A and B are shown apart, each in its own frame.
Chain A
Amino acid sequence: MAAGGRARAQRPNLDKMERMVVSMQDPDEGVKMRSQRLLITVIPHAVAGGDVVQWLTQKFRVSEDEALHLGALLVRHGYLYPLRDPRSLALRPDETPYRFQTPYFWASTVWPASELDYAIYLAKRSIQRRGALLDHEKGCAPRIWQEHYDQLQWKISHAWDLVVTQAREQLRAMKQRRRGDRLVITCQEQAYWLVNRPPPGVPNVLEQGPERGSCAASRLQTCKSLDFYKWEIEYARKALGRNRLKSSVCLEAYLKFSSQRGPHDPILSGCLPSNPWVTDDDTYWAVNAPTAATPTRLRVERWGFSFQELLEDPVGRAHFMDFLEKEFSAENLSFWEACEQLRYGGQAQVPALVDAVYQQFLAPGAARWVNIDSRTMERTLAGLCRPHRYVLDDAQLHIYMLMKKDSYPRFLKSDMYKGLLTEATVPVETKRRVFPFMRKPRHCSPSPALPTAGPGGGGED
């Protein structure tokens, strides 16, 4: 169909169903049609449920169950409607007659169905049935339509004139048609509204989750105007400039990350001393607290993975600060910490903090002057006239990269770090408590990834 709005791109199942329905219409290879005989009128183009299932089985070479399921989907989405019992939207593989829905009422054309249209439809029914929205068919729910009708009168009361006038005019226009056509059109409209406003208890097939990305602006982009092409050019230009990463590089990094972090993951490799959720012993949390005195060995090893890890861990940061003090470059880390405080602190403290940072770190002849290159320094000093939260970002990044390239590798090679590694504790695994009345002793940190035959032959569920 024509390029109608972004909403269409989210419903590929409707496109497929429509193509299927159109291929059913082929005069040679389509579904067999028969006529429906009412008392005086004969209406053509009725199909039997069994014929539909048979056609689907032959055309797509699927089993009958699948063909039945496909046909049921077509009926539920409103592309086929049953003639005898319009409320039950199910496909019966026997002689039950169905008919195809007109393309105007396909789910992709009029979507979403508006309240105004629904109000006009209910008004038409109300006029036709002279005041009571009662149905003469079996299994009806007249109160539901009446409730909807009253609700709509309250919701769109300003447009009620239009609703009434349009309902009357549409009924008058319909009277100009033959009796058979009138019946068909009424059935079509009823089927459409049964799908779009299902009675309670029937799931709404057309329901979709929250809108993703672009909103449902369904104006037809048929006229390719100048603005449209300008937008397209801009979009293509931005797309060309985007960074693209080869998937081989990406996957390599992913593999490296997984293999490096594997032994550190408590779910994959078990946690020592024991999983607190299993053994009710929270030593694990106490030992790994952010401000623990002696870090565990795993934790110290993690500091070697990346600079970000080291800085994020408070204990690691403290040790790094000690190291930098020995190297007489502690002002770098202090400056970085002050910038972080600026970024994440309160808005009211921003001017005062910027001033303090300038006095302490950036002013010529300051107590703890940081070494930033001249271009960044110029930019920062220019930005200090209008201080805001991110004014020191460039300088912070420069200092961060400096520490990462220079101090961090030295820290990892230093004696201090090696000492920390040897001093770090490895918690002892708690003895598994074997209850006499339990058949299998429980593992202290069960994990789906651990092999079932663990050390000591422990049983695992």
Chain B
Amino acid sequence: MAREECKALLDALNRTTACYHHLVLTVGGSADSQNLREELQKTRQKAHELAVATGARLTGALRDKSLAAEERAEFERLWVAFSGCLDLLEADMQRALALGSAFPLNAPRRPLVRTGVAGAASAVAARALSARSLRHEAEHDFDVADLQELEREVLQVGEMIQDMEMKVNVPRWTVQARQAAGAELLSGASAGASSAGGMSVEERSGPCDPSKALAATLFSAVLLAAVALAVCVAKLS
């Protein structure tokens, strides 16, 4: 059904936007690197594709005059969420452009700000792209070439937003949000638990945590020693 498709696309877009926001947070800081810029580019492209697809579907649905009132309300709600998400994405892209040009990666006179964030963010990007892991193929001067592309994409997103506003007229104040005031806490608790459970499952099946691996090795070593001692005691007695 069209509504379910739109909802799924919108969820994916939300996920990608959140991951992009998270990645842009570290630009210019101590975790900035060519890999980060490449991850930003891939996430951004994926977000762009999703945005175009969702926009097309939603525009098509809302311009259809023969829609029932309930369905139309539902689509309008999705539309408001979609345009808000796109605004957030555009703002983050503009900030990424500003920060990227202010903190070029290989300039000796402009050191990066030492913020204390040191780890890699490839897992975040992998989540955004719904991939298992990410391969980095960037060349040395990736960030400079990327900035021009980013400029173009910012303008493209801006044009897309304007285009959408022209085609479909949805007054924001008439839309009633589905989520009530405390909703994020109720489902948030369960979502948090489930997501935590999901994350831990993924973590275990993925590459192991070094501390957990160490603990497991120690435990098995102690167990083996105990078994060996028991066998010796049994043999002796």
In the complex, A175 Cα to B121 Cα: how many Å?
11
Minimum CB–CB distance for A36 against chain B, Å:
8
A23-39 CB mask vs B (1 if < 8 Å, else 0) is: 00111001001001000
Asked if B111 and A30 sit within 8 Å, CB to CB, the answer is yes
Say yes or no: B85 contacts A166, CB within 8 Å. yes
Select one of B11, B176, B195 contacting A165, CB under 8 A.
B11
List B residues 89-137 near A (Cβ within 8 Å): 94-95, 97-99, 101-103, 110-119, 121, 123-124, 126-128
Residues of chain B within 8 A of A184, CB atoms compared: 115-117
Q: Say which residue of B24, B119, B188 sits within 8 Å of A127 (CB atoms).
A: B188
Q: In this assembly, does A100 line the interface, its C-beta being within 8 Å of a C-beta of chain B?
A: yes
CB distance A171 to B114 under 8 Å? Answer: no
Contact across chains for B101 and A2 when beta carbons are under 8 A apart: yes
A25 in contact with B111 (CB, 8 Å): yes
Chain B residues numbered 187-221 whose CB sits less than 8 Å from any CB in chain A? 188-189, 191-192, 195-196, 199
Contact with A along B169-194 (1 / 0, CB 8 A): 00011111111011111001101100
- B111 with A46: CB separation less than 8 A: no
Stretch of A154-162, A258-266, A310-318, A412-420 that contacts chain B: A154-162
Residue pair A167, B184 in contact (C-beta under 8 Å): yes
Please tell me the size bucket of the interface on B.
35 or more
* B98, B110, B152, B195: the one within 8 Å of A109 (CB): B98
Q: Which of A81-111 contact B (CB under 8 A)?
A: 99-105, 109-110
Which B residues are in CB contact (< 8 Å) with A158? 80, 172-177
Are A104 and B184 within 8 A (Cβ)? Answer: no
Q: Nearest A residue to B76 by beta-carbon distance?
A: A158
Query: Cβ of A173 < 8 Å from any Cβ of B?
Result: yes
CA distance A98 to B138 in the complex (A): 34
Q: With an 8 A cutoff between CB atoms, is B154 at the interface? A: yes
Asked if residues B15 and A130 are in contact (CB atoms below 8 Å), the reply is no
Which residues of A sit under 8 angstroms from B181, Cβ to Cβ? Answer: 150, 153, 160
B147 CB to closest chain A CB (Å) equals 9
Assuming the A-B contacts A99-B115, A102-B117, A103-B102, are A161 and B77 also in contact, with contact meaning beta carbons closer than 8 angstroms in the complex? yes
Knowing A153-B181, A176-B124, the reply to whether A166 touches B18 (Cβ < 8 A) is: yes
Residue in B88, B103, B128 whose beta carbon sits within 8 Å of that of A116 in the complex: B88
| Pair A104/B11 contact, Cβ less than 8 Å | no
The reply to whether the CB of A164 lies closer than 8 angstroms to some CB of chain B is yes
**Which of B26-34, B49-57, B59-67, B228-236 contacts its partner?**
B26-34
B35 at the interface (CB under 8 A from A): no
**In the bound complex, do residue A164 and residue B111 qualify as a contact, i.e. CB atoms below 8 Å apart?**
no
**A21 cross-chain contacts in B, Cβ below 8 A:** 113
How distant is B72 from chain A, measured CB to nearest CB, in Å? 16
The distance in angstroms between the C-alpha atoms of A127 and B95, with both chains bound, is 27
* Bound-complex Cα distance A219 to B154 (A): 10
For B15, what are the chain A residues with a Cβ–Cβ distance below 8 Å? 169, 172-173
Contacts of A306 in B (CB 8 A): none
Residues of A within 8 A of B191 (CB): 168
What total of chain A residues lie within 8 Å of the partner, measured CB to CB? Answer: 63
Contacts of B164 in A (CB 8 A): none
The reply on B25 being an interface residue by CB < 8 A is yes
Instruction: Please determine whether A170 and B18 come into contact, CB atoms closer than 8 angstroms.
Output: yes
Provided the pairs A2-B102, A27-B111, A162-B84 are in contact, do residues A99 and B18 lie with their beta carbons within 8 angstroms? no
Chain B residue contacts of A169, Cβ below 8 A? 14-15, 17-19
Chain B's closest residue to A168 (CB) is: B191
B144 contacts the other chain (CB 8 A): no
In the complex, what residue of chain B is closest to A179 when comparing beta carbons? B119
Assess the B99–A104 pair: CB atoms within 8 A: yes
B192 to A1, Cβ gap below 8 A?
no
Instruction: Give Cα A102–Cα B22 distance, bound, in whole angstroms.
Output: 12
* CB of B102 to closest CB in A, whole Å: 4
Q: Quick check: A22 and B111 within 8 Å, CB to CB?
A: yes
Partner of B124, one of A25, A103, A173: A173
Of all chain A residues, the one with the shortest Cβ separation from B150 is A222
B residues less than 8 Å from A177 (CB atoms)? 119, 121, 123-124
Instruction: Please give the distance in Å from A267's CB to the nearest CB on chain B.
Output: 52
Contacts of B173 in A (CB 8 A): 158
User: Are A165 and B14 in contact, CB atoms less than 8 angstroms apart?
Assistant: yes
Q: Is the CB of A161 within 8 A of B28?
A: no
- Which residues of chain B have C-beta atoms less than 8 A from A27's C-beta? 111
Residue B42 interfacial (CB < 8 Å): no
Q: Which residue of A lies closest to B114 (CB)?
A: A45
- A447: Cβ under 8 A from any B Cβ: no
Of the candidates B116, B177, B179, the one having the most CB atoms from chain A within 10 angstroms of its own CB is B116
Chain A residues within 8 Å of B110, by CB: 22
Q: How far is the CB of B164 from chain A (nearest CB, A)?
A: 15
Residues of B within 8 A of A (CB): 11, 14-15, 17-19, 21-22, 24-31, 77, 80-81, 84-85, 88, 94-95, 97-99, 101-103, 110-119, 121, 123-124, 126-128, 151-152, 154-155, 158, 172-179, 181-185, 188-189, 191-192, 195-196, 199
Q: List 17 A-B contacts (CB under 8 A).
A: A25-B112, A25-B114, A27-B111, A46-B116, A102-B28, A103-B99, A103-B102, A104-B95, A127-B189, A158-B172, A161-B178, A161-B179, A164-B183, A219-B158, A220-B97, A222-B151, A222-B154
> 7 closest Cβ contacts across the A-B interface?
A169-B18, A103-B28, A176-B123, A160-B177, A45-B116, A45-B114, A127-B188
